[in-house]
Amino acid sequence: MNSLKNLINCKSFVGGKWIDDPKEGHLDILDKYDQTVLASIPFLNTSQIEQAVKTSEEAFKVMSRWSAGQRALKLEKLLDLLKEKKDLFTELICKEAGKPVVYARAEMERCLYVLNLAKEECLRFEGEKVPIDFGLGEGKTAFTKPFPIGPILAISPFNFPLNLVMHKVAPALAIGCSVVLKPSMMTPLTSLAFSDLVHQAGFPPGTLNTLICKDKEAELLVRDERLKALSFTGSPKVGWFLKTIAGRKKVTLELGGNAAVIVDEGVDIKKAAKDICGGSFLYSGQICISTQRIYVHASIFQALKDALIENVESLSIGDPKEEKNMVGPLINKEALERVGCWIDEAKHEGAVVLTGGRVLDEKRNVYAPTLLTETKDTMKVVFEEAFGPLAILEKVDSFEEGVERANKTRFGLQVGVYTNNIDRMKYAFNQCETGAVIMNFVPGFRIDNMPYGGIKQSGFGREGIKYTMKDFSEEKLLIY
């Protein structure tokens, strides 16, 4: 009988084997609500890191010769294996990430969707016919063909411990690249379990090497020229630094933001309030496209404020393993203290707490969903990425002012715009400085095949299966 214990392994996965080095110290992985230890994993040493790169190179030599049909068959087998264990993966995500189980279940469904997309895309991913039948090229034909670029380095965050890994690994497997993965040190167990499934599906040893290593070893991997691309999801500070040391690698950065929503007059206030409540506080706001800044037209400000407070105060909070709860713990004590500190600073500088503003369970790192108003743009709760259960609500006198306020940030991932006016929709699309504009919904919207990414400090490049496959390949041109 399958149990969660069978899914958890206390070693790194390299070259199709579980390896460790007890002399290097270890990492404790906690149940984020109960604070019990799920696993203790030793860090790898430098020779084992080197082994990971070499076995990744060896796997790539095999995979790069496979046909698209062969890759699709392996992906289909991997998809079947993941389907069989999706309930166990859901439970593991819930525990190690502190993610409400309903949301963890949704993450697993997305993972299956991403794998299926990768299987389908590898059968249709191709180059293009280049028109050259004129002048010096008269009588000739030309076309391009994409080839896998080589082993990939992937670094993933804690908040989607499998789906954000999947957005790096699935397109790599679809194009024929191996992957060296450094998962978040707060949520590595899901990635490790998935690595084993990749091996079971019949991919060559070294196809997905998942490493528990310290930052200094990870930095060496970023500098290693044998790894041909870097796909990083995490903080802007780390991401932009890694780009400076990545050398000639292709680099994709998915960083973060303090996403805004603009609410125009004449919209459905009840729907907008419900959407924004979920968009701000689901999973304690630990999503890079969580709604953090809310700009509302003055004519409906009071009505939306009242409806939003009512929605926030009705949220179920507590143990993420209980189906009813949509808000659980923050990822660790440091996150709890940071969120509390920022809110206290804002209050001291004149911000008003409409609801929340307090710790609910210090032992389990649970902070009350908090809504602030009368904030200033110089406050951290406004200009930094909160990545916690807080949002600011402010009045604007015009739709144009709402767009201007939304743009007043160094970030630019996604924005939500509520309006029934087609001209204002066009205005928002043309003027909002973000990678995507989501109409009549919150910025926290993502379908896994769409091009996803930000501008300004929010990132570099785009994710989405075929877009990532382009990044993980290089085209050759044939003329005859």
List pLDDT tens digits, range 83-115: 999 999 999 999 999 999 999 999 999 999 999
For residues 458-465, average pLDDT = 96
Tokens of 248: 């000639």
Cα angle 295, 300, 302 (rounded to 5 degrees) comes to 90
Tokens of 283: 């999973």
For residues 272-300, average pLDDT = 98
Q: How confident is the model at residue 1 (pLDDT cuts 50, 70, 90)?
A: very low
pLDDT computed for residue 407 by the predictor: 98
**Is 368's pLDDT higher than 90?**
yes
Distance, in Å, from the CA atom of 32 to the CA atom of 397, rounded to the nearest integer, reads 42
Q: What percent of the chain clears pLDDT 70, i.e. is strictly above it?
A: 100
Q: Give the tens place of pLDDT for each residue, 29-41.
A: 999 999 999 999 9
Q: Give the tens place of pLDDT for each residue, 133-148.
A: 999 999 999 999 999 9
Distance, in Å, from the CA atom of 247 to the CA atom of 220, rounded to the nearest integer, reads 12
**Is 288's pLDDT higher than 70?**
yes
Q: How confident is the model at residue 21 (pLDDT cuts 50, 70, 90)?
A: confident
In contact, 251 and 222? CB cutoff 8 Å: no
**Is 127's pLDDT higher than 80?**
yes
Q: Cα separations (Å) of 437 from 178, 260, 279, 396, 427? A: 34, 10, 15, 19, 11
**Phi-psi region at 384: left, alpha or beta (left = phi > 0; alpha = psi -120 to 50):** beta
Backbone angles phi, psi at 218, to 5 degrees: -65, -40
pTM: 0.95
Of the candidates 18, 45, 8, 12, the residue with the CA atom closest to the CA atom of residue 214 = 45
Query: Which positions are catalytic?
Result: 254, 288
In contact, 27 and 41? CB cutoff 8 Å: yes
Q: Give the tens place of pLDDT for each residue, 183-228.
A: 999 999 999 999 999 999 999 999 999 999 999 999 999 999 999 9
pLDDT computed for residue 2 by the predictor: 66
Backbone angles phi, psi at 429, to 5 degrees: -65, -40
Domains in the chain (CATH in brackets) are: 4-255+457-479 (3.40.605.10), 260-447 (3.40.309.10)
Indicate the average pLDDT of the chain: 97
314: buried, middle or exposed (CB in 10 Å: 19+, 13-18, 0-12)?
Answer: exposed
